[in-house]
Amino acid sequence: MIRILIKDKIDPLVVGELKKREYYVQESTEKPELLLQEVKNNEILIVRSETKVNKEVIDSAMCTGNLKLIIRAGVGLDNIDVDYAQLKGILVKNTPEASSSAVAELALAHMFALARKIVPANLTMRERKWNKKQCQGIELSGKILGIIGMGRIGKSLAQKASALGMEIIYSDIIGPIKVDSSWKYVSIDEVFGQSDFISLHIPANRDGSFLVDEPELRKMKKDAFLINTARGKLVNEKALLEALNQGEIAGAGIDVYCQEPCTNTALIQHEKISVTPHIGGSTCEAQFRIGQLILNLIEEYHNNKSFNKE
């Protein structure tokens, strides 16, 4: 019987379905310190973004050689040492297509929140203040949205923003991509210099360097907004706060942070920032799709394993 370790919370329906299919399922989401021992006894490990599967974890798993497959229930693989896992013969899979729409919608939600000053309007209303004049905003229609990373999420955001009448420019490491002809490929410097809103949709740099630091923030328009629903380590939070305090940019929408849970109170309490606690893929629909893909990946692994034994 295939033993499956679930280290971060996933849809209970998925857990139930795995048990129904007669897999041995171990849920251990409350005690992360047990991971080094638990990976020795399980063939499949399922994680989300919280659990870090580093060299130490993989070496521990190799003590028994039981671990054969790691599944990341989500988009990125930043929390898994993929190269080392593959070097040790462990498959690494994720579910990149499941949460594209959810993350794109959250990026758009932050844009609306900033454009219409929804956060300060909401907070002051709860204080029984009628700050109508102070909450005059702007429209998204007619504004330039610069997207860095035109992958699944970038494309989904571009489609939604286009429907709102936004002009789309984008930059991608692989160059121009076959997308809507009205979306214009430009250099990354042009994205920073021309956009009214900039949305990030790429992995973090492997060398730990920031994509958005003081030089990039200085290139932005003073009335422009930065949106980050991708990876916290893409943005130098200290430089972002300085840019906001000096009026170098108008605001930011942030869902991901250099450290999570985020303890940077200056950042999360800043009046020019719309913040959420890393909920990009946290919709009922996205979690259902992730669950279905996890089931498919495990069935594929099981079938290939059975086939190879014959």
Looking at the structure, tell me whether residues 256 and 139 fall in a common domain. yes
Looking at the structure, tell me whether residues 186 and 220 fall in a common domain. yes
CATH number at residue 79: 3.40.50.720
Looking at the structure, tell me whether residues 190 and 226 fall in a common domain. yes
How does residue 1 score in pLDDT terms, banded at 50, 70 and 90?
confident
Please report the DSSP string for 228-272 in residue order: E-S-GGGB-HHHHHHHHHTTSSSEEEES--SSSS---HHHHT-TT
Looking at the structure, tell me whether residues 105 and 86 fall in a common domain. no
Looking at the structure, tell me whether residues 21 and 75 fall in a common domain. yes
- 44 vs 62, 68, 88, 210, 259, CA distance in Å? 13, 6, 14, 33, 27
Looking at the structure, tell me whether residues 71 and 179 fall in a common domain. no
How does residue 307 score in pLDDT terms, banded at 50, 70 and 90?
very low
Q: How do residues 188-240 score in pLDDT, each as one tens digit? A: 999 999 999 999 999 988 888 999 999 999 999 999 999 999 999 999 999 99
Catalytic residues: 231, 260, 278
Looking at the structure, tell me whether residues 65 and 210 fall in a common domain. no
Order of strands, sheet of 225-228, starting from the edge strand that comes earlier in the sequence: 184-185, 167-171, 144-148, 197-200, 225-228, 251-254, 273-275
How does residue 310 score in pLDDT terms, banded at 50, 70 and 90?
very low
Looking at the structure, tell me whether residues 70 and 137 fall in a common domain. no
Looking at the structure, tell me whether residues 162 and 60 fall in a common domain. no
Partners of residue 4 on adjacent β-strands: 25, 44
Q: How do residues 76-91 score in pLDDT, each as one tens digit? A: 788 899 999 999 999 9
Q: How do residues 46-66 score in pLDDT, each as one tens digit? A: 998 889 999 999 999 999 999
In total, how many domains does the chain have?
A: 2
Looking at the structure, tell me whether residues 262 and 294 fall in a common domain. no
Looking at the structure, tell me whether residues 257 and 204 fall in a common domain. yes
Whole-angstrom Cα distance, residue 37 to residue 43? 13
- Domain span at residue 133? 100-275
Looking at the structure, tell me whether residues 70 and 119 fall in a common domain. no
